[in-house]
Amino acid sequence: MFETSAFLLAAVAATFFAAGVVKGVTGMGLPTVAMGVLGALVSPLAAASLLIVPSFVTNIWQLLAGPGLGPLIRRLWPMMAAIVAGTLLGTSWLAAGDTRPTTAALGAALVVYAGFTLFARQFHVPPRLEPWLSPLVGAATGIVTGGTGVFVIPAVPYLQALGLARDDLVQALGLSFTVSTVALAAGLGARGAFQPDGIVLSALAVAPALAGMLAGQLVRNRIGPAAFRRGFLFCLLLLGAQMCLGSLS
């Protein structure tokens, strides 16, 4: 799957450090950044397999660092169960073909959402709608995750629309991404997508990803809620644009 070289090792390390910084600040973005950059160097399937170990480790760190895991699990478990089912179904697309059209469409959706929300009133999901909306969002997120290796749409806009506090939002994203990572690994593994050299390289990417995430968390702790929201949406905008441009190359 991989032709390991000094250039590839350096590119993987730099990519996961940068992706870790973005994740540390906003609570998300590691798979999007990594898939966008590494997709130019290796196949989408190979890039997705590289994500598994650093994504899992950084998501577990993010998940356990928050203030209220139990209440979040009780609130969001229908969404998480649907993510698993959708991801297992969607991995057949990632394992089979070109993901550029779907990645470009996802990037465009992120740009529209983030741009609108930056300059308009924030969306809010009423509590009465959560029981049926959460499973629908989870299933859609799972299918997108399985088909592209990116965990963002529509989970991130939905979780932000729940009106969670900053640290609760970051922890909820960690929960969603952890579940997505495990389901993606299971789906790709069932389709024979993993090779020993890919797993080793994925494990080596953990150190730069954690270093970047720690640096990003230090930045996040120094900014207020309003600045965090603007930065969060701006990162979504940049990530969406990067997905669109990367899919055209």
- Structure tokens, 70: 């139990």
Within a domain: 44: yes
Out of 49-63, 67-81, 121-135, give the one with best mean pLDDT: 67-81
Instruction: Determine the average pLDDT of the residues in 47-75.
Output: 84
In this structure, what token pair is assigned to residue 164?
Answer: 């969670």
Determine the pLDDT at residue 224: 74
Tens of pLDDT, residue by residue over 171-195, are: 998 899 899 989 988 888 887 766 6
Higher pLDDT, 173 or 135: 135
Please tell me the total count of domains within the chain.
Answer: 1
Which range marks the domain in which residue 63 is found? 6-248
User: Domain for residue 204, yes or no?
Assistant: yes
Measured in whole angstroms, the distance separating CA 17 from the mean position of its chain's CA atoms is: 15
d(CA 221, CA 228) in angstroms, rounded, equals 10
Please give the structure tokens belonging to residue 111: 């740009």
**210 has a pLDDT exceeding 80:** yes
Flag whether 117 is in a domain: yes
Domain annotation covers residue 1: no
d(CA 240, CA 103): 9
Q: Specify whether the CB–CB gap between 205 and 108 falls below 8 A.
A: no
For residue range 87-131, list pLDDT tens digits in order.
998 887 766 655 666 667 667 777 876 776 677 666 788 889 999
Can you say how many angstroms the Cα of residue 28 is from the centroid of all Cα atoms in its chain? Answer: 6
Evaluate whether 139 touches 183 at the Cβ level (below 8 Å): no
Cα(48)–Cα(67) distance, integer angstroms: 30
